[in-house]
Structure 1
Amino acid sequence: MVARQLEEQIAARFPVGQRLRVLDVGMGQGTQALRLARAGHRVTGVEQNTTMIEVAREALAGEPEGIRARMRVIQGDGQETGVHFLPGSFDVVLCHGVLMYVDEPDPLIAGLARMLAPGGLLSLLVRNGDALAMRPGLSGDWAGAQDAFDTTSYRNRLGLDVRADRLESVTATLAGIGAPLHAWYGVRVFTDLAPDGAPAPEDLDELLAAEERAGRTDPYRAVAALLHLCGVRG
């Protein structure tokens, strides 16, 4: 879903065929970074976890030379982008699944926005702080649902205590740093309870179509497990 949404926003912001400069902060195993490099863009991936870096580099090693030349990997936590890069160095900056591990997200978001050239796209994927009661509630954990209404803290599937972001708060942050919210989507509206590693169902196309529509339609997107927020640098 995130890949489809990102493609939509890139197509809306940039001329067809333009080779973009992309920064992927917290790239994980490099799924989005590799996809964008295959599309012809020059991608820099930043990742702190050494295991994830090795997975990404192994995947990159299996790509054709042209794709390998368009992608580089840097170890880091994303907080020091100003050390590695000049302001305005990128057309697109991704930060997916990272902010939930950051106690104070605003400085990180501001630093990422400074990396954008004018008109550049900032893509954030965050845990939805306005819908934390949905998962325990749908699982029948009524006490957990009651607790979740009044907090932005939660324990993720890895057993780590992390935090979520509210749409209103991130919208205000983006406006304050000169990269106002341009579009937003819900991710995992209907499928949040699916177990990790579950095989793809036979009706996958229908599932994706339903998720895609719900992710862009009110009121469904507002209760998604994740929010995909896209800001544009003024």
Structure 2
Amino acid sequence: MAARFTGGRQLRVLDVGAARGSQALRLARAGHKVTGVESDSALLSAARSALAAEPEDIRRRVRLLEEDGRETGAHFLPGTFDVVLCHDALMHVAEPDPLLAGLARVLATGGLLSILIRNADARAMGPAAAGDWTAALAALGPPEAAEAPETPELQGGAGPRGRPLRADRPATLRTTLSGIGAPLHAWYGVGLFTEVTGKAVPPVAGAEFERIMAAEERAGRADPYRAVAPLLHLCGVRD
């Protein structure tokens, strides 16, 4: 966002899957106007509590709605937002294309569609890093198969409520983004070193934290590292 939108203008941001609101609040503190949508009532309640603790000028810049991100077309006009974030929603839906098409529709020309996906091309990396070779082999599929199975269970594992999480191939998402008028502009690997096993990383601070972030940032922008990151950050631009 900072690289694409210069000059300090206030951006209209839609945050789909806002969860507890940390991303929406961070953007509001930076001066942007944010609409956060979240279908989980408990998460939305936590977001509203966090927003209530903010200064009045920040509270005025945030609107939180309890709704499904797939219904954006029913609630917002085309071109309503400069930036649409979908960082914790795509992995929870069975079919991503309708959701993404709806998000692109409410994006202004030249606007940024930012999505986070589980990387189906790297689904064997986590089990292997954790030493679970049975799961790693299952994720890779039969030796003679050109591609591993497409089941969400093999791709993404289980979510916090035990539901299967989907994963996507970046090549497929590239095609989807072009088809909905928001072709891929840039992409990055996320959590290459800290998320690959799926286990919690002990909290760190200070210089050690900065070194970890520097390593993640550099690897997430560079080939071949980013291609095997467990999460991918894809940015499309509305044409």
TM-score of the two chains, using structure 1 as the length reference: 0.92
Aligned counterparts of 1:40 and 1:120: Cα–Cα separation in 2: 17
Worse-matched range after superposition: 195-204 or 144-153:
195-204
Asked whether 1:14 is paired with 2:5, we answer yes
Asked whether 1:113 is paired with 2:104, we answer yes
Provide the residue aligned with 1:96 in structure 2.
Answer: 87
Q: Cα RMSD (Å) of the superposition?
A: 1.4
Aligned counterparts of 1:201 and 1:39: Cα–Cα separation in 2: 23
Aligned counterparts of 1:97 and 1:117: Cα–Cα separation in 2: 22
Aligned counterparts of 2:159 and 2:127: Cα–Cα separation in 1: 12
Once the two structures are superposed, the pairs formed by residues 128-167 of structure 1 within 5 Å of their partners are 128-149=119-140, 150-152=148-150, 153-154=152-153, 155-156=157-158, 158=160, 159-167=162-170
Asked if 1 retains the 8 angstrom alpha-carbon contact of 2:16 and 2:88, the reply is no
Asked whether 1:54 is paired with 2:45, we answer yes
* Counterpart selection for 1:184 from 166, 183, 187: 187
Find runs of 4+ consecutive structure 1 residues off by over 4 angstroms: none
* Counterpart selection for 1:198 from 196, 202, 205: 202
Q: CA deviation at 1:100?
A: 1.0
Asked whether 1:44 is paired with 2:35, we answer yes
Find the residue that maps to 2:6 and give its secondary structure. Answer: coil
Provide the residue aligned with 1:3 in structure 2.
Answer: none
Q: Which runs of 5+ in 2 are unaligned?
A: 141-147
- Code of the residue aligned with 1:30 in structure 2: it is G
Worse-matched range after superposition: 159-168 or 114-123:
159-168
Q: CA deviation at 1:200?
A: 2.2
Q: CA deviation at 1:135?
A: 0.5
Find the residue that maps to 2:121 and give its secondary structure. Answer: coil
- Code of the residue aligned with 2:128 in structure 1: it is G
TM-score of the two chains, using structure 2 as the length reference: 0.91
Aligned counterparts of 1:62 and 1:37: Cα–Cα separation in 2: 13
Per-residue CA deviations over 1:107-128 (Å, capped at 9, x if unaligned) read 1000000010000000000100
* Identity, % of aligned positions: 60
Provide the residue aligned with 2:215 in structure 1.
Answer: 210
Q: Against the structure 1 CA distance between its residues 93 and 72, is the aligned structure 2 distance closer, same or farther, given a 3 Å change threshold?
A: same
Find the residue that maps to 2:215 and give its secondary structure. Answer: helix
- Code of the residue aligned with 2:158 in structure 1: it is N
Q: CA deviation at 1:11?
A: 2.3
Find the residue that maps to 1:13 and give its secondary structure. Answer: coil
Q: CA deviation at 1:156?
A: 2.8
Q: Which runs of 5+ in 1 are unaligned?
A: 1-9
Per-residue CA deviations over 1:112-153 (Å, capped at 9, x if unaligned) read 000100000000001001000000011111111111121342
The alignment of Structure 1 onto Structure 2 pairs a total of residues equal to 225
